[in-house]
């Protein structure tokens, strides 16, 4: 028998409890051992819930229980999750987690500690919720050099953008729904400002390229500036707006970013709606593969956490190697060097003068007018570097006829 402790009985932790109890037969078959929840740590009481029998408020009880071999950390945040994880690994207990904030910030240190103690630190649920992506990257694509990885990596923002586009709902209203459904982070700014997707693309890049990618070096923009007017433009252009995280090898290092992006309705990611996520991986041998599923939510995420528990049971006494060199820091290329094409919304009280100014700076661009907004127009730029585009945007802002630059949304190249 392998005893499991769950840290945190919230959305994911309670899901882990349910998956282990509901699928005990399947888990025994797949892992070769009986898996049992011995303890659950939470700050709250859960009167009437069967979990009460195994509930504790004292982490030491878990740490000192020799029957507990694996800990599922589902508290979130950096502390005390970091300290608890270090102490568990040092005691020879494997740790599995859905906590991408912790993996992105301290993953390499924790993986090294796991190796030193002959156990594993696994985090399939930290990216893409219930989508199998970490294991496919490390195992199924082990024969490939990964060239590029990109996708929709946050369920909350994809849910918000979908509802704003399809139902005309307001940002705040849909964010509340996403919180009620258990998709959003404890502080939803992490979702809507793009930080969550940034941590996920950093984790994926580290696994894909084998070196530690510092998430703090990745250019990140969220969806808080996206308005219904932006969505009207996207419809006119036969596009959708999605929050995309992307990363690829370039001559200047790893070129990674997170930002809203206009993608054509023909693009495969345009069919990824609601809480669903999808991730593209381009390998030098396998070509393109794509992974799709629920990007957040109780049971899909818990399923990924429990799959890691099964893996840890299968590898009892060993460390699961995931091919991430924890001692090498990757060079993240300056965003200014990246190629970009964008839609830029420009307010103007003199369209003729403004368009003349724009052609002077940007050359031959496509102009887009919107019937529902007559004090502005948009341009679709040609592809150039981010640095050069930023300079041009700054320049036109001072030119004849050009008013406020209302938004700039990147476009799929
Ligand atoms: P919740 O807030 O629903 O659950 C966290 C639980 O941990 C709460 O019950 C919380 O108690 C408890 N907790 C927090 N601190 C402590 C502590 N010091 N000691 C004991 N218990 C504690 O979060 P989620 O389940 O949504 O998320 C957990 C982790 O999984 C996060 O890292 C999140 O990013 C990640 N994740 C979440 C997904 C989702 O769909 N929700 C999907 C993929 C990953 P209290 O409420 O009293 O603070
Ligand atoms: N808040 C995250 C999301 C949870 O919405 O994608 C899954 O990581």
For the segment(s) 134-294, the CATH number from 1.20.1340.10, 3.40.640.10, 3.30.360.10, 2.60.40.1120 is: 3.30.360.10
Residue nearest to atom 4 of ligand 1 (CA): 10
Does the pLDDT value for residue 412 go beyond 90?
no
- Specify the pLDDT at position 281: 98
Range(s) for CATH 3.30.360.10 in the chain?
A: 134-294
- Specify the pLDDT at position 332: 98
Alpha carbon distance 355, 408 (integer Å)? 17
Residue nearest to atom 7 of ligand 2 (CA): 296
Domain 339-411, CATH class in plain words: alpha beta
Q: What tokens appear for 187 in the block?
A: 């502080």
Residues annotated as catalytic (active site), given as ranges: 200
When pLDDT is averaged across residues 220-235 and rounded to a whole number, the result is: 98
Range(s) for CATH 3.30.70.1150 in the chain?
A: 339-411
Residue nearest to atom 48 of ligand 1 (CA): 43
* Closest ligand to the CA of 195: 2
Determine whether the shortest distance from the Cβ of 42 to ligand 1 is under 6 A.
yes
Does the pLDDT value for residue 413 go beyond 80?
no
Pocket test for ligand 1, best of 12, 15, 84 (most atoms within 8 A of CB): 12
Q: Residues 177-227: pLDDT tens digits?
A: 999 999 999 999 999 999 999 999 999 999 999 999 999 999 999 999 999
Single out the residue of 138, 254, 125, 129 nearest to residue 202, CA to CA: 254
Determine whether the shortest distance from the Cβ of 94 to ligand 1 is under 6 A.
no
- Residue 89 pLDDT level (bands cut at 50, 70, 90): very high
- Ligand 1 centre to CA of 9 (Å) is 7
- Specify the pLDDT at position 106: 98
Q: Residues 359-399: pLDDT tens digits?
A: 999 999 999 999 989 999 999 999 999 999 999 999 999 99
Range(s) for CATH 3.40.50.720 in the chain?
A: 2-127+298-327
- Ligand 2 centre to CA of 101 (Å) is 11
- Specify the pLDDT at position 323: 83
Does the pLDDT value for residue 156 go beyond 80?
yes
Instruction: Supply the mean pLDDT for the chain.
Output: 97
Q: What tokens appear for 81 in the block?
A: 């999750």
Q: Residues 21-42: pLDDT tens digits?
A: 999 999 999 999 999 999 999 9
Nearest ligand 2 atom, CA 100: 8
- Specify the pLDDT at position 325: 87
When pLDDT is averaged across residues 120-148 and rounded to a whole number, the result is: 97
Q: Cα separations (Å) of 290 from 133, 247, 257, 271, 283?
A: 9, 15, 19, 13, 11
- Ligand 2 centre to CA of 276 (Å) is 10
- Ligand 2 centre to CA of 100 (Å) is 9
When pLDDT is averaged across residues 343-348 and rounded to a whole number, the result is: 98
- By CB atoms closer than 10 A (0-12, 13-18, 19+), residue 162 is buried
pTM of the model: 0.97
Determine whether the shortest distance from the Cβ of 191 to ligand 2 is under 6 A.
yes
Determine whether the shortest distance from the Cβ of 130 to ligand 2 is under 6 A.
no
Asked if the 2-127+298-327 domain carries CATH number 3.40.50.12780, the reply is no
Nearest ligand 1 atom, CA 182: 41
Which are the contacts of 24, defined by CB distance < 8 A and separation ≥ 6? 34, 35, 36
- Ligand 1 centre to CA of 77 (Å) is 8
- Specify the pLDDT at position 382: 97
Alpha carbon distance 100, 203 (integer Å)? 8
């Amino acid at each position: 028998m392998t005893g499991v402790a769950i840290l945190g009985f919230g959305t994911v932790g309670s899901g882990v409890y349910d998956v282990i109890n509901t699928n005990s037969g399947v888990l025994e078959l797949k892992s070769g051992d009986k898996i049992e929840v011995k303890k659950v740590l939470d700050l709250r009481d859960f009167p009437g819930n069967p979990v009460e029998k195994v509930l504790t408020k004292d982490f030491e009880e878990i740490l000192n229980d020799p029957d507990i071999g694996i800990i599922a950390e589902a508290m979130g945040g950096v502390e005390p999750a970091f300290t608890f994880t270090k102490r568990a690994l040092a005691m020879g207990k494997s740790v599995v987690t859905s906590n991408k904030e912790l993996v992105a910030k301290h993953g390499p240190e924790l993986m090294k500690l796991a190796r030193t103690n002959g156990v594993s630190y696994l985090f399939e649920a930290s990216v893409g919720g219930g989508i199998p992506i970490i294991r496919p990257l490390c195992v199924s694509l082990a024969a490939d050099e990964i060239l590029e990885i990109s996708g929709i990596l946050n369920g909350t923002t994809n849910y918000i953008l979908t509802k704003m586009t399809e139902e005309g709902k307001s940002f705040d209203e849909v964010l509340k729904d996403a919180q009620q459904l258990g998709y959003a982070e404890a502080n939803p700014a992490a979702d809507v400002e793009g930080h969550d997707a940034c941590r996920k693309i950093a984790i994926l890049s580290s696994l894909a390229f084998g070196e530690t990618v510092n998430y703090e070096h990745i250019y990140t923009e969220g969806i808080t500036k996206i308005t219904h007017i932006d969505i009207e433009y996207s419809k006119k252009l036969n596009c959708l707006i999605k929050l995309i995280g992307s990363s690829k090898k370039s001559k200047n290092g790893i070129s990674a970013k997170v930002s809203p992006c206009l993608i054509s309705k023909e693009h495969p990611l345009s069919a990824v709606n609601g809480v669903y996520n999808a991730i593209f991986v381009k390998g030098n041998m396998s070509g393109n593969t794509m992974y799709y599923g629920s990007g957040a939510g109780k049971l899909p995420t818990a399923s990924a956490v429990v799959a890691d528990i099964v893996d840890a049971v299968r590898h009892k006494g060993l460390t699961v190697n995931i091919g991430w060199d924890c001692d090498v820091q990757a060079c993240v290329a300056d965003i200014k060097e990246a190629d970009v094409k964008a839609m830029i919304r420009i307010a103007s009280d003199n369209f003729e003068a403004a368009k003349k100014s724009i052609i002077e700076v940007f050359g031959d661009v496509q102009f887009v007018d919107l019937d529902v907004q007559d004090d502005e127009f948009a341009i679709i730029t040609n592809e150039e570097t981010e640095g050069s585009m930023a300079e041009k945007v700054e320049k036109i802002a001072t030119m004849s006829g050009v008013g406020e630059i209302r938004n700039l949304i990147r476009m799929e190249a």
